[in-house]
Structure 1
Amino acid sequence: MKRYLVLLVAMISTIVICATFSFPVSTTPLLTSSFGEFRGTGNRGPHFHMGIDLSTGMRSGVPILAAEDGWLVRVEIDEDDIYGNVVVLYHDDGYKTLYAHLSEFSEKLKLIIDSVVSEFGRKRIVVKFPERTFFFKAGEPVGYSGQTGEAAQPHCHFEIRNIDETICYDPSQFLNILKPKEARFIVKSLVINSEKYSYREDEVYPFKGDFPKISINAVTEINKNVIGLKSLKMYLNENLVYHIDFSEIPIDEFNNVWSVYTNDSVADGYNYDAWYKLYPDQWGNVIKVDNYAEIGKLPSKILVRIICTDFWNEEFEVRFFLERR
């Protein structure tokens, strides 16, 4: 009976976590950017990527679809802001969804949008709608793909937020996007106390001082594109010392990227080098464990294990040794 109850609770938990969102694009979803990635561009300064990007084949005008039945909250008309043209929907299950970089809005909004633009021009305009005024069914177009805002090319940018829009959630918890066969985890480089190294499993690297400052440039590579990680856990001699997790990010930490990434990180639309900082430097909500204050004096040789979790919850171990010299 106890085993049955445990399984039942696990099933209920899974149902709660995996909400019933459908894909906001009609084609087979191809992920091009993940949640929590570093972004160094835009007029709001360096920031976290607060949603996911799905390919539209680099084409504008592809229908962007409501991920669930919902009511229109607002549209943002702005070709120059980070998000460009935006639609936000409210859903009765307690979430809001955001669709950005749109080239055009849905036909059902055309008269309103045309009227607003005619009166105020194409400067930044936010149009808020009374509750339950405009209803969109799941799969109905809310707009069309584009590259307004900071988008380097046309695509679908999709976010899931809580009702008061104080938190963004990783959409991978709500969507079942299949992992491409060609996807592979790679470690591009390590930095240990400001010294850069190529990674080799079980290699011995030198360090100085009381504790090592380790950062890692690791990604999922899909053809010529790279995807950021979902979680990193670092163990020193089998003790969990540091844990970064991108399940959710508060909106007010939009620009708090330096809590996780080093100043060497670059993301300009075509070049992505993001270094995850695995040592205490600046506080942030995505840092779930920081046990550096409790580890005491480390021995002269240390086993380091970094467990990297990709977008699809597959884990990969990065393993090496440190030797104080």
Structure 2
Amino acid sequence: MKKIFLMGLLVVAVLSFGTSFFIYPVEIGPILTASFGEFRGTGNRGPHFHMGIDLSTNMRSGVPILAAADGWLVRVEIDEDDIYGNVIVLEHENGYRTLYAHLSDFSSKVQDIVRSVVNEFGKRRIVVEFPEKTIFFKVGEVIGFSGRTGEAAQPHCHFEVRSLDESVCYDPMDFLPLVIPSDARFEVRSLIIDGERYTYSPGRVYLFKGDIPKIAINAVTVSGRNVLGLKRIRLYFDGTLAYELDFSTIPWNEFNNVWAIYTRDSVSDGYTYSAWYKLYPELGSSLVKVNRFAEIARLPKQSRVKITLTDVWNRNFDVEFLVERR
């Protein structure tokens, strides 16, 4: 890592990362194409969580990307190959930072600076950090333009909400006005119970062995051609909440901790999304909000199972069936 001060800016050349506080950073739609916390199985950083949301730009580069609130420029990252590609980070008076990724180009306010450091350092990864409150953007002002730099399969806007120290990412949908597509629906694709894969049928009896079945569910929200992950999943045995996953916040130190939440049957390659949520304890994660498996210890021979799925718009859908010990 090499640090140089240029025109009062810290330039870092790196050879090798409820309430509507914000507006949507694109004028199109807004059409959500990927949600917070989704499984990502590819990339030069290994399998990881999707730490923001993706918004459609109709697969076009050059669409204006807007500041989600009044704020000042914190950082520009110039890198066509890293997972995020070209990035802008803003800080806001409400105590959060926002990140905009995969940009094809930057606002005229920073374009000259970007060009000068690229001319100086070439095509390596470059991070330019700006002094606090020196370059301001008003809400809705253009900060850059959509693209597919980094690991974007198609041009779009990747948007994140982070803590001030950027140690935690928050679900941006908790900070944006909820715009629910009229065709958005839950889709339960299948279940895994004790390693056996099944089609889900309401009220069906599934066999298990041992004290408590290991259940995984492949469920999504579908809107048009877009397949979205879930916001929250709760597992009940005979009316008792036994396990809960919540994708409201993800610490950066858990970026790669996906196998605590998803099974290794999960696939996400930019065109196919098939993620299996583990509803049993195996590896530790802060996304597990409730784990009463030790208290329950052993289920009766037959038990009622309810899995409550919550989508990114906070709607619920119940999956219900029976399990019976072999």
What's the TM-score bracket when you normalise by the shorter of the two chains? over 0.9
Is the contact between residue 29 and residue 177 of structure 1 (CA under 8 Å) also seen in structure 2? no
For 1:205, the aligned partner's letter is Y
The CA distance in 2 between the partners of 1:111 and 1:182, in whole Å, is 44
Report the CA distance between 1:177 and its aligned residue.
3.3
Q: Within the alignment, does 1:189 sit opposite 2:185 as a pair?
A: no
> Aligned with 1:242: secondary structure?
strand
Is the contact between residue 212 and residue 297 of structure 2 (CA under 8 Å) also seen in structure 1? no
1:172 corresponds in structure 2 to 173
The CA distance in 1 between the partners of 2:287 and 2:142, in whole Å, is 33
For 1:108, the aligned partner's letter is K
2:88 corresponds in structure 1 to 87
Q: Within the alignment, does 1:205 sit opposite 2:203 as a pair?
A: no
Is the contact between residue 230 and residue 247 of structure 1 (CA under 8 Å) also seen in structure 2? yes
Q: What pairs with 1:21-170 in structure 2 (closer than 5 Å)?
A: 21-170=22-171
Report the CA distance between 1:122 and its aligned residue.
1.7
Q: What pairs with 1:158-307 in structure 2 (closer than 5 Å)?
A: 158-307=159-308
> Aligned with 1:210: secondary structure?
coil
2:7 corresponds in structure 1 to none
The CA distance in 2 between the partners of 1:102 and 1:161, in whole Å, is 18
Percent identity of the aligned residues? 63
For 2:259, the aligned partner's letter is W
Report the CA distance between 1:314 and its aligned residue.
0.4
The CA distance in 1 between the partners of 2:213 and 2:78, in whole Å, is 47
> Aligned with 1:311: secondary structure?
coil
Q: Deviations over 1:163-219 (max 9, x none)?
A: 111111111111113111111101000000000000000000111111100000000
1:12 corresponds in structure 2 to none
Q: When the two structures are superposed, what TM-score results if normalisation uses the length of structure 2?
A: 0.94
Q: Deviations over 1:220-278 (max 9, x none)?
A: 01122210000000001111100000011101111111110001100000000000000
More helix by share: 1
Is the contact between residue 32 and residue 55 of structure 1 (CA under 8 Å) also seen in structure 2? yes
> Aligned with 2:243: secondary structure?
strand
The CA distance in 1 between the partners of 2:225 and 2:165, in whole Å, is 37
The CA distance in 1 between the partners of 2:299 and 2:115, in whole Å, is 65
> Aligned with 2:161: secondary structure?
strand
The CA distance in 1 between the partners of 2:298 and 2:42, in whole Å, is 40
Q: When the two structures are superposed, what TM-score results if normalisation uses the length of structure 1?
A: 0.94
Q: What are structure 2's unaligned runs of at least 5 residues?
A: 1-17
Report the CA distance between 1:110 and its aligned residue.
1.1
Q: What are structure 1's unaligned runs of at least 5 residues?
A: 1-16
For 2:188, the aligned partner's letter is V
Alignment RMSD (CA, Å) = 0.7
The CA distance in 2 between the partners of 1:276 and 1:296, in whole Å, is 21
Is the contact between residue 20 and residue 177 of structure 2 (CA under 8 Å) also seen in structure 1? no
